[in-house]
Amino acid sequence: MKFIPQLNKEKLLSPKKVTKKSKVEKRLTVLTWLTILAIWYLVTELRIFSATLVPSPYKVWLTFLTILKEGYNGVSIWVHLGASFRRLLIALGLAVTTAVPLGLLSGYFNKIEAIIDSVVEFYRPLPPLAYYTLLVLWFGIDDKSKVILLFLAGFAPIYIACVSAVRKINQDYILSAKSLGADQKRVFFKIVLPACLPEIFTGIRTAFGVAYTTLVSAEMVAATSGIGWMVLDASNFLKSDVIFVGIIIMGITGVIIDAGLRFLEKKIIFWKGHV
C-alpha cells in the first residue's frame, strides 16, 4: 500500500521537472545561436575572410529584406519557395501513402517482404543524384523527374521504419488478440498499426530531411526555379550574401516543417512516452 502513494507523488512531481528541464534546454538553444551569431560577426569584423566570401550578418539581413521585397532576378521569393515545396509535398505525399502500407505489410507478411525488400535495399544506398540523370533523360527537366527523385529518396526511410516497427511488436499482444477471436484485419488495424505509429512518424521525419536535401541538390542540377536554383545561380556570380540568405531560408523552413510534424505526432500519438 505504501508503493501506490509514492508512485503518485513521483507522477505529480515529474511535470515540474520536465518544465524546468525544458526551460533550461530553451535557454541553451538560444545561447548556442547567439554564440554562432557573435562568432560570425567577429569573423567579419576582423576580416579573417574576404567580405565576398563571408558577408556580415547585417549585409545578409539587408539582402534578405531586398529579396523579400523585390524577389530574386525579378521573381518573388514566394514563387521559388512555392516551386520547391510543391515538389517536396507531392513527393512526400506519394511516399507516405505507398511506403507505409507496403512497409507494414512487408513486416507482417514474409512473402511480401521477399518481393519488395530486396528492391529497396538495392537502390537505397545509391546517391539520388547518381540516377537523377537517367530520370531527366526519361521524364525531362520539369517537375516530373524531380518528384520521382524525391519520392524514391523519401520512400526508403519510411518503408524501413515501418518494417522495423512491425518486427518490434510484442507477439503476446497479437497472440492474445487471435485467441480472443480477432481476425487478421482486426489484428492489423487494432494492434499492428497503432503500435507502429511512433516509428512511422520517425521515418516520415527522416524521409523529409533526406527528400529536402535531395530537392536542393536536384534544383542545382536541372531547374529554373526553386530555392536551390536561387543558391546555385547566386554562386555563379559570387553573390555570397544571396547564398547565405538561401541557406538560412532552407534551414528555417526545415525546422518549421519538422516542428509541424512533431506537433502532429504529439496530437495523433498522444500515448507516446506515457506507457
CATH of the domain at 80: 1.10.3720.10
Region 198-219 average pLDDT: 87
In the predicted structure, residue 154 carries a pLDDT above the cut 70:
yes
In the predicted structure, residue 177 carries a pLDDT above the cut 50:
yes
Q: Is residue 191 part of a domain?
A: yes
Last-in-domain residue among 30, 48, 66: 48
What residue numbers bound the domain in which 43 lies? 1-48
Same domain, 167 and 194: yes
Looking at every residue in the chain, the average pLDDT score rounds to 83
Same domain, 123 and 210: yes
pLDDT in the model for residue 60:
92
Region 71-99 average pLDDT: 89
> Interior CA angle at 86 toward 263 and 96, to 5°?
55
In the predicted structure, residue 5 carries a pLDDT above the cut 60:
no
Q: Is residue 186 part of a domain?
A: yes
Region 76-95 average pLDDT: 90
Same domain, 28 and 124: no
The pair phi, psi for residue 49, each rounded to 5°, is -120, 160
Q: Is residue 124 part of a domain?
A: yes
Q: Is residue 116 part of a domain?
A: yes
Region 227-232 average pLDDT: 86
Evaluate whether 162 touches 100 at the Cβ level (below 8 Å). yes
- The crossing angle, in degrees rounded to 10, of helices 110-123 and 143-167 is 130
pLDDT in the model for residue 3:
35
CA-wise closest residue to 213 among 150, 162, 161, 158: 150
Q: Is residue 275 part of a domain?
A: no
Same domain, 20 and 155: no
Q: Is residue 257 part of a domain?
A: yes
Evaluate whether 55 touches 47 at the Cβ level (below 8 Å). no
Same domain, 6 and 102: no
CB-side exposure of 195: number of CA atoms within 13 Å?
21
Same domain, 7 and 125: no
Position with higher pLDDT, 19 vs 254: 254
Same domain, 254 and 207: yes
SS3 222: coil
Q: Give the CA dihedral 193, 197, 202, 204, nearest 10 degrees.
A: 70
CA distance 91 to 150: 6
Give the Å distances, CA to CA, from 203 to 10, 23, 74, 195, 221.
33, 28, 38, 14, 27
Evaluate whether 102 touches 160 at the Cβ level (below 8 Å). no
Number of domains in the chain: 2
Q: Is residue 183 part of a domain?
A: yes
Give the Å distances, CA to CA, from 115 to 147, 151, 154, 161, 185.
24, 19, 19, 17, 21
- What number of other Cβ atoms are within 10 A of residue 191's Cβ? 18
Same domain, 228 and 134: yes
Same domain, 197 and 86: yes
Same domain, 234 and 114: yes
pLDDT in the model for residue 174:
76
Listed in sequence order, the residues at least 6 apart from 211 whose beta carbon sits closer than 8 Å to its beta carbon are 88, 91, 92, 95, 150, 153, 154
In the predicted structure, residue 141 carries a pLDDT above the cut 90:
no
In the predicted structure, residue 1 carries a pLDDT above the cut 50:
no
What single letter denotes the amino acid at residue 240?
S
pLDDT in the model for residue 20:
55
Same domain, 23 and 89: no
Region 7-23 average pLDDT: 51
Q: Is residue 273 part of a domain?
A: no
Same domain, 40 and 165: no
| Per-residue pLDDT tens digits for 90-103 | 999 999 999 999 99
Percent helix, percent strand, percent coil in the chain, to nearest 5: 80, 0, 15
